[in-house]
């Protein structure tokens, strides 16, 4: 067991000539492997000018930081690498090696354009459309969207339907969701929807009980209500799982899964691609 005195602190700088999302995700994934370590994370983004980049580099040196960077401009990459070498600083250049390899394989020079991933192109607007779709058809508001959706999520209350819908929408997928309540009428569109694009979300009763109790507390209400009653939860989950069997859809237990993990499982189970980086048609 590591006590507080044994804890280490690591400083990470993310430096980018764009939004820095790629390097930030790598930093987050790396930090997650060390729950006993204290981290300080600094972001220096849109460093497109030499002066701004040099300020970011000096800040990183002053903090004795390791640096993760996504810089595409050749001149700025050289300035950064020279600085790291001069001051013997750890750094990881995320973009240059794969970009250079693609150039070697194709003979085509990269555009070296910062932020090219975030162009306001057709693909971007498809993503906005998918997010608007998720909002419009959230929580079973309009079951007519089921037939148009790429994914239909089913689940009892607090099984992450809405967060998952928005997360998948950010991957250019149109997602609708329907809350399952044993006493409620099921819309006819549910039975008209292809089971291969339906995902039934479930959870462990005890975990769902804790989530619902906390939900009540956030509303300033007593934790123990019919909403959080464990026996009622078990009946809801039984109803949902019976329905999933009847439909013949994919079932995912979200009890120990993050939104990202659940979304990845959905993409794999339904043979869907993440279209957030390129514009292609979904396979039939």
Annotated binding residue at 158?
Answer: yes
- pLDDT bracket for residue 1 (50, 70, 90): very low
Considering just the CA atoms, what is the radius of gyration of the chain in Å? Answer: 24
Model confidence pTM above 0.85: no
In this predicted structure, the answer to whether residue 209 has a pLDDT above a threshold of 90 is: yes
Confidence at residue 282, expressed as pLDDT on a 0 to 100 scale: 37
Could you identify the residue written with the tokens 């044994």?
6
Note the pLDDT tens digit of each residue in 23-41.
999 999 999 999 999 999 9
- Quote the percentage of the chain above a pLDDT of 70: 94
Residues 185-209, mean pLDDT to the nearest whole number: 97
Confidence at residue 281, expressed as pLDDT on a 0 to 100 scale: 41
Annotated binding residue at 106?
Answer: no
Annotated binding residue at 30?
Answer: no
Going by C-alpha positions, the residue among 176, 94, 80 that lies closest to residue 137 is 176
Confidence at residue 224, expressed as pLDDT on a 0 to 100 scale: 94
Going by C-alpha positions, the residue among 250, 242, 131, 243 that lies closest to residue 197 is 250
Residues 211-219, mean pLDDT to the nearest whole number: 94
* 3-state per-residue secondary structure call for 147-205: CCCCEEEEECCCCCHHHHHHHHHCCCCCEEEEECCCCCCCCHHHHHCCHHHEEEEECCH
- Quote the percentage of the chain above a pLDDT of 90: 87
Note the pLDDT tens digit of each residue in 103-119.
999 999 999 888 877 77
Taking all residues of the chain, what is their mean pLDDT, rounded to a whole number?
A: 92
Annotated binding residue at 160?
Answer: yes
Going by C-alpha positions, the residue among 200, 189, 282 that lies closest to residue 248 is 200
Annotated binding residue at 157?
Answer: yes
Annotated binding residue at 24?
Answer: no
Listed in sequence order, the residues at least 6 apart from 274 whose beta carbon sits closer than 8 Å to its beta carbon are: 171, 172, 267
Other residues' Cβ atoms within 10 Å of the Cβ of residue 269? 15
């Amino acid at each position: 067991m590591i006590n507080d005195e044994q804890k280490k602190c690591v400083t990470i700088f993310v430096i980018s000539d764009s939004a820095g999302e790629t390097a930030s995700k790598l930093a987050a994934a790396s930090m997650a492997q060390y729950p006993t370590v204290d981290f300080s994370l600094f972001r220096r983004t849109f460093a497109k000018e030499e002066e701004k980049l040099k300020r970011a580099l000096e800040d990183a040196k002053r903090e004795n930081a390791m640096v993760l960077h996504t810089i595409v401009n050749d001149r700025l990459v050289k300035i950064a690498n020279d600085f790291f070498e001069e001051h013997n600083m750890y750094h990881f250049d995320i973009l240059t090696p794969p970009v250079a390899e693609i150039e070697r394989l194709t003979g085509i020079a990269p555009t070296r354009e910062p932020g090219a991933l975030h162009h306001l192109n057709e693909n971007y607007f498809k993503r906005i459309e998918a997010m608007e779709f998720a909002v419009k058809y959230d929580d079973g508001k309009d079951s007519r969207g089921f037939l148009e959706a790429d994914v239909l999520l089913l689940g009892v209350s607090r099984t992450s339907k809405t967060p998952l819908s928005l997360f998948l929408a950010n991957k250019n997928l149109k997602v609708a969701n329907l809350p399952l309540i044993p006493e409620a009428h099921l819309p006819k569109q549910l039975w008209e929807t292809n089971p291969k694009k339906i995902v039934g979300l479930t959870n462990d009763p005890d975990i769902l009980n804790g989530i619902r109790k906390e939900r009540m507390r956030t509303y300033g209400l007593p934790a123990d209500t019919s909403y959080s009653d464990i026996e009622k939860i078990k009946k809801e989950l039984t109803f949902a799982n019976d329905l999933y069997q009847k439909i013949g859809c994919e079932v995912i237990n979200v009890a120990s899964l993050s939104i990202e993990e659940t979304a990845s499982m959905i993409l794999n189970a339904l043979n869907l691609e993440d279209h957030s980086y390129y514009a292609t048609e979904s396979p039939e």
